[in-house]
Chain A
Amino acid sequence: MYSIAGIALSHHYKRQKSYSMNADEVMHLIQRYTDHTASAEEIALLESWYAERAAGGEQPLFSAEGEETDRLLADRFLAMKSRSLADIMSIPIPQKTIQMQPRKSYARWAVVAASLFFTFFSGLYFYRELIQDPLAEVHIAPADAETVLTLGDGRQILLEEASTGGLAKEAGITVTKNAEGTLVYKAAGAGAASTYHTVETHKGGGQVLVLQDGSKVYLNASSSLKFPPTFAAKGKRRVELMGEAYFEVAKDPAHPFMVSSKGQELQVLGTHFNLSAYPEDGAVKTTLLEGSVEVFPIGDAQGKAGFGQGRKGLLLKPGQQSVVTSSAAQLVNANVEEAVAWKNGYFRFNDEPIESVMKKIARWYDIEVDYAGAPTNEGLSGTISRFTDISDVLRMLEKTKVVHFKVEGRRVTVMK
């Protein structure tokens, strides 16, 4: 049976120039193959060899020693099969839910996330349709990350270009960039600078910082964090956020941690939370994963949602989210996974309005968004890696059948 297939296929063989190689060269070739850097011709040659070898030729696989041996051998293989299955199934499956205490580094998450292809969960779940895909020609990768650190004296450092190691030394601190790209502030010697540093990310970017008190901040794309390189010995630890960040605040009850952002102030003792406060978004959302935070809406000029100077805040419990707009402030039960998906390398939408979805996408890919006609009222759901091409993201959204996209250059038009 196989030989028939073999003969039939052999007609398709193409003859090319021949190579003569030694063992070392073959090793390098395989290396290139496994690194995905081999040429198309090399790949074709190696895979052709592999297929031919797999077909086996004259090689006998089993010695002809009779039925009894065959039976024993088959039993041995089947025992391996069961043992192997039991081994695999004894491994606990990682859950989809977010770990409450993230341990891995941002960079490693990114690698893991990038290696995961394409996940998509929603009420409407369709396999990729190969026929008629206008997005097939669209290739927009996440924008080039560009993150700028501005020091107290106004000097600016482009973090992607900075080499690993010490970046700056100021009164009382050292700033280093570690192997994973995290910016680490450490107290060194006496003295405290009374200046501020700012880290600003752009589209497609992100930055992890460890502040001098040990608090860790994961800054999302198109965001900036202003903070003192050393926190004052007395009083509160104050930082300012524009955009979105996930905070893991080091516990220090004597020095409450304050985050000022658009529309609100927030006070914590030691906790994990996500704060999304982009200027273009209507609402400022604080999502608590662990510990406790208190949110103080600032309110608009008329003080509609303001809590005045008497300052009675919204106290969040883990799993809750505060939503602060210029006219209202409320507590809701949070979709925690959705709130921190960005940090884990995903876009995650759960019945989300198309405008909000497109804002998130536009902060990551360098695109402009247009709407043809009134956008749909239906919410969109889906999860996909942030490290994929924009066409994958748009294709996923199109599967919901409530939106379609037209892409011209960097302009994405949303259609019904």
Chain B
Amino acid sequence: MSEYKNLPDQELIGLLSENTGPVFNEVYNRYWSQLFLHVRRMLGDDELAKDIVQEVFTNIWERSPDFSISTSLSSYLYTAVRNRVFNEIKQQKVKSVHLQDIAAFFSRGQYEADEALRYQQLKSAIELEISKMPEKMREIFELSRHQYLSHKQIAALMNISEHTVRTQVQRALRLLRQKIDLPVPTLFFLAHLLK
């Protein structure tokens, strides 16, 4: 599975139709956290944020046999999420605070006319989201981003039960512990895998 970890986005997307499960999994792991945190900031609702990010990824999953984009993957994801957030605001599922906020912003009348720069601002805001988390939380998140697969993911990919995955991982861990002293981060990672 890890063979995809070091591939740049462009190449990864090119492989999506061939090896959908693992490639999709990597795309998802790469972007889920920051997208989720971003939408959560915009809408202040965990479940809604989860749903919106899920929709965006579902769209890629369902189109995976033919998925092709003319922009970068991050640009595709960030703008897809932005459109959905605007939709939520429009449907007033979120407090009308946003509407007033937009009105106030408009009355200030300052805006960035250059589309590329606007996009850069959005990109850095989304990508810095994780760094703004409290330290402990961020640690756990970063770990999940750099970890390979969760039990559920492995089970789904390999079409075996979660229980089987857990047993296999435990067995491997036992073996490892007998043989070597693991560095702390690795232990943290393995412990997380066992949760």
Residues of A within 8 A of B (CB): 1-2, 5-6, 9, 12-23, 25-27, 29-31, 33-34, 41, 44-56, 59, 61-62, 64, 67, 70-71, 73-78, 80-91, 93-96, 116-121, 125, 127-128, 383
Assembly CA distance A95 to B87 (angstroms) = 30
B140 touches A93 (CB 8 A): no
- The closest CB in chain A to the CB of B58 belongs to A88
A91 touches B99 (CB 8 A): no
Q: Give per-residue flags for B85-116: 1 if the beta carbon is below 8 A from chain A beta carbons, else 0.
A: 11101101000101111110111111111110
By a CB distance below 8 angstroms, the chain B residues around A54 are 38, 41-42, 121-122, 125-126
By a CB distance below 8 angstroms, the chain A residues around B109 are 15-19
Among B65-88, those with CB < 8 Å from A are: 65-66, 68-70, 82-83, 85-87
By a CB distance below 8 angstroms, the chain A residues around B152 are 82-83, 85-86
A27 touches B38 (CB 8 A): no
Interface centre among A25, A91, A93 (most CB of B within 10 A): A93
A91 touches B117 (CB 8 A): no
- The closest CB in chain B to the CB of A63 belongs to B134
Assembly CA distance A409 to B169 (angstroms) = 65
- Known A23-B96, A85-B152, A88-B54; judge A50-B82 contact (CB<8 A): yes
A89 touches B136 (CB 8 A): no
Chain B interface size, as a band, is 35 or more
- Known A81-B33, A93-B62, A118-B68; judge A49-B132 contact (CB<8 A): no
Does B182 reach chain A (CB closer than 8 Å)? no
Select which of B65, B102, B131 is within 8 A of A95 by beta carbon.
B65
A2 touches B128 (CB 8 A): yes
Assembly CA distance A14 to B115 (angstroms) = 12
Assembly CA distance A45 to B107 (angstroms) = 10
Select which of B14, B61, B111 is within 8 A of A48 by beta carbon.
B111
A23 touches B100 (CB 8 A): yes
By a CB distance below 8 angstroms, the chain A residues around B10 are 127
Does B146 reach chain A (CB closer than 8 Å)? no
- The closest CB in chain A to the CB of B21 belongs to A89
